[in-house]
Amino acid sequence: MIISIASGKGGTGKTTVAVNLALSVKDAQYLDFDVEEPNASIFLKAEIEESEDVKVEIPKINYERCDFCGKCADFCVYNALAVVPSNVLVFPELCHSCRGCSLVCPRDAIDWRYRVVGRIEHGTAKDIDFYQGLLNIGEIQSLPVIRSLKQKIDKNKNVIIDAPPGTSCPVIETVSGSDYCILVAEPTPFGLHDLKLTVETLRHIGIPFGVIVNKDGIGDRKIDFYCQTEKIPIIARIPHDRDIAHLYSKGIPFVEELEDWKIKFREIYDTIEEEVEG
């Protein structure tokens, strides 16, 4: 079973839920897709054993053939090419590696070279098979790293996916193919706003989902009313609790100290499994 954990924005406790869930089930695989700022390894104390580059292809102009006609630049909707009288400028960060420019080039003057945009790290963390994607600083396209990381999913394990924050393409790419998605939300007006956006996204791609309310008690009950109206199950509530906050501040997943919570997370997992298989 593949469970992804998502939230409309960062800082809602998404990684907290994902880490504690992974530590509560057997034979887990954890993949941190928050490629701009992966931080699950801090809580899981992952030991990284191997790393591989994520590469994309970008155009390399063959000046022996190019006559600077400009057709490639006209075609590229991402403005990754600009043709001047005696040069073709390539802007690597803007290129989406679609290869369209080479299709329209009348002189077959476009070759390809590789560019490293990030890396995938693999290791172990307390018996968990751990992966994380890292986007290189300054890169703006996370999808190549996300797609490479998705290839590491082992369907024979209990897969926990820590999705990037937001509701845009990287999140959709990450959660697509999951059996279930847990949405983590805080009971505040901002939390409700972000939850609504994420719900729309998940309904669009057709993945079953439920909500975990984090820091329950800090705000209002509008998330409860919303979920009731929309018939969205609230599968758990994590209270705004001094012990939990203290452990978090020390980088300790709370299921490691509060045994009841390990049982609760296992129950959450079992409930989801029943729903997925049911």
Binding site for ligand SF4 (CB under 6 A): 59, 61, 66-72, 75-76, 78, 80-81, 83, 88, 95-101, 105, 107, 109-110
Smallest separation, CB 74 to ligand SF4 (Å): 8
Smallest separation, CB 213 to ligand SF4 (Å): 42
Nearer to ligand SF4, 91 or 225 (CB): 91
* Three-class SS state of 186: coil
One-letter amino acid for residue 239 of the chain: P
Nearer to ligand SF4, 94 or 276 (CB): 94
What is the distance between the alpha carbons of residues 191 and 213, in angstroms, rounded to a whole number? 10
Cα angle for residues 203, 155, 251 (degrees, 5° grid): 80
What is the distance between the alpha carbons of residues 238 and 266, in angstroms, rounded to a whole number? 14
Nearer to ligand SF4, 67 or 274 (CB): 67
Q: Which residues contact 246 (CB under 8 A, 6 or more apart)?
A: none
Nearer to ligand SF4, 109 or 211 (CB): 109
Smallest separation, CB 62 to ligand SF4 (Å): 8
Q: Which of 162, 152, 151, 159 is nearest to 273 (CA)?
A: 159
Tell me whether residue 237 is exposed, middle or buried, using C-beta atoms within 10 angstroms of its C-beta: 0 to 12, 13 to 18, 19 or more. Answer: middle
Smallest separation, CB 97 to ligand SF4 (Å): 5
Nearer to ligand SF4, 108 or 200 (CB): 108
Smallest separation, CB 144 to ligand SF4 (Å): 12
Work out the angle between the directed axes of helices 222-230 and 189-205 (0-180°, nearest 10): 20
One-letter amino acid for residue 37 of the chain: E
Q: Which residues contact 245 (CB under 8 A, 6 or more apart)?
A: none
Smallest separation, CB 90 to ligand SF4 (Å): 7
Nearer to ligand SF4, 105 or 195 (CB): 105
